[in-house]
Amino acid sequence: MKRIGFIGLGIMGKPMCKNLLKAGFPVVVYARKPIVARELVEAGATEADSPRAVAAASDVVITMLPDSPEVKEVVLGPNGVLEGARRGATVIDMSSIAPLVSREVAAKLAERGVEMLDAPVSGGEPRAISGTLSVMVGGKQAVFDACLDIMKAMASSVVRVGDAGAGSIAKLANQIVVAINIAAVSEALVLAAKAGVEPELVFNAIRGGLAGSAVLEAKAPLMMDRKFDPGFRIGLHIKDLANVLATSHQIGLALPLTAGVMEMMQAAKTAGLANSDHSGLVQHYEAMAGVEVKR
């Protein structure tokens, strides 16, 4: 069985790592703060003292980090994964980063005989816990096939969408759809509240029709219950939309709906909501309307 290294033990990474342990994989972990790794060590993981040490002890290294700079630092930086990885090893970057950075990191690894898959995920903390994430993967078909069992231990859907960088492009597309859906749900429920109709009744009326969606099912109840603890923070969605817009500008593409939602999320961040779940965007609409969406 392949030896797995895991770097990035946050809201998503920790439950993903736990699911690898439950599946029986031997796992080596690294965290800058040892206390973060303690729970995983107690669950059966081994702790290493650097990304380099993780790579030296692993056949496959998984990274689940906040953004492009962190991935480059952990993989390519001093005492990083590249320094410890043996020829023939694989890095699976499951972070949501800029596609050009995914391709850059893949190229640097390839120079040393190390393979890479860019494999960002969708589903948030609940699906990370349940092991039912969706994974969109870029990289060689043979490398994808060799690592499919690993990704399946954390996800219910794993789809290869192309070569290096394609997974990151697919994740940007995902984040566009999610962001615009959250904004649409927010507008719809604020409309109901402002018009004097119970948002919950509107939710129940529309969920079975064409307006029904995974976003509506997951986020409308949180809005109505005022539960904005982060499964996926507004601040992180802003990061993803920044990558979307930067990529779209690089290829000469206008994305007006995405740009509009980005501005609303920036306003929410300015209002102190950066660490709220992205369903908290409804509070931006509520502030403009002078109403509150609740059961």
Residues with a known catalytic role: 171
C-alpha pair distances (Å), 212 with each of 137, 218, 281, 293: 27, 11, 19, 18
Q: Name residue 60's beta-bridge partners.
A: 4, 90
Q: Half-sphere exposure (CA, 13 Å, Cβ side) for 213?
A: 13
Q: What is the DSSP string of the chain?
A: ---EEEE--STTHHHHHHHHHHTT--EEEE-SSHHHHHHHHHTT-EE-SSHHHHHHT-SEEEE--SSHHHHHHHHHSTT-HHHHPPTT-EEEE-S---HHHHHHHHHHHHHTT-EEEE--EESHHHHHHHT-EEEEEES-HHHHHHHHHHHHTTEEEEEEEESTTHHHHHHHHHHHHHHHHHHHHHHHHHHHHHTT--HHHHHHHHTTSTT--HHHHHHHHHHHHT----SSBHHHHHHHHHHHHHHHHHTT---HHHHHHHHHHHHHIIIIITTSBGGGGHHHHHHHHT-----
User: Any residues with CB less than 8 A from the CB of 132 and at least 6 apart, and which?
Assistant: 123, 155, 156
